[in-house]
Chains A and B, each alone.
Chain A
Amino acid sequence: EDQVTQSPEALRLQEGESSSLNCSYTVSGLRGLFWYRQDPGKGPEFLFTLYSAGEEKEKERLKATLTKKESFLHITAPKPEDSATYLCAVQPLRDTPLVFGKGTRLSVIA
């Protein structure tokens, strides 16, 4: 069975305190891995798509990396506005639905 596991479930950081969120996966294939940000009461906002091991993508204070077993979302010098739930999802094969992790709830304290 395809599974995506995110850790930690919740993370509390001081403003400026860099850290990483983990997304590990056991899937039948890897057509793509997605990171989304979700604010309370809103839909997920797309951040990154990663396709193959070794790939990295950056956007402002966020950097996503991918290995054969897991992905990391690195947050450098976070600000309070980075507080949100970060969702990881994998599409194993074409015509298969996304498999989501349960998310990491990030709080950044000023």
Chain B
Amino acid sequence: DAMVIQNPRYQVTQFGKPVTLSCSQTLNHNVMYWYQQKSSQAPKLLFHYYDKDFNNEADTPDNFQSRRPNTSFCFLDIRSPGLGDAAMYLCATSSDSTSGSADTQYFGPGTRLTVL
């Protein structure tokens, strides 16, 4: 089945120690997203890519960076994780169409990040 895969599912890091989360997709979608979701809150968009065009949300901290080396893969780098960065990180994909209708975003299972 076509899907969005995230690795690892659980990541534990130390305060200030860089960490990289990965996402891959077999849907062949050209748009990929990274969201942060804290407990009992809605997902918050950090970045998205239309193909290789990078879009950074205005309030995404500089501590977060992203890379998309090809259509299938996308990475989220947290340069110096703080306690406030502990959250679920969700990757999503969609197929950007030029029609007037919205394109559904499909989410991966998420990576739960713990910062000690």
Encode B90-105 as 1/0 by CB contact (under 8 A) with A: 1010000000111111
- The number of chain B residues touching the other chain, given as a range, is 20 to 34
- B108: chain A residues at CB < 8 Å are 43
A12 interface residue (CB < 8 Å to B): no
Q: Is the CB of B109 within 8 A of A43?
A: yes
Asked whether, in the complex, the Cβ of A31 is within 8 Å of the Cβ of B100, the reply is: yes
With A and B bound together, what is the CA distance between A100 and B40 in angstroms?
13
* Cβ-based interface call for B51 (8 A): no
A53 to chain B, nearest CB (A): 14
For B11-32 the 0/1 string (1 means CB < 8 A from A) is 0000000000000000000000
User: Chain A, 6-48, contact with B by CB distance < 8 Å: what is the 0/1 string?
Assistant: 0000000000000000000000000110101000011111100
Query: Closest Cβ of chain A: how far from B50's Cβ, in Å?
Result: 8
**Contact code string B65-93 (vs A, CB < 8 Å = 1, else 0):** 00000000000000000000000101010
Contacts of A31 in B (CB 8 A): 100-102
Q: Which of B40, B48, B101, B104 is close to A97, meaning CB atoms less than 8 Å apart?
A: B48
How many residues of chain A have a CB within 8 Å of chain B?
21
Q: How far is the CA of A36 from the CA of B105 in the complex (A)?
A: 10
- The answer to whether B100 and A98 have CB atoms under 8 Å apart is no
Do A32 and B102 have beta carbons less than 8 Å apart? yes
Residue in A closest to B6 when the chains form the complex, CB atoms = A43
Q: Is the CB of A34 within 8 A of B109?
A: no
Tell me if B45 is interfacial: C-beta within 8 Å of chain A: yes
Q: Say if the beta carbon of B8 comes within 8 Å of chain A.
A: no
Name the B residues within 8 Å of A34 (CB-CB).
102, 104-105
Q: Report the separation of the CA atoms of residues A32 and B100 in the bound assembly, to the nearest whole angstrom.
A: 9
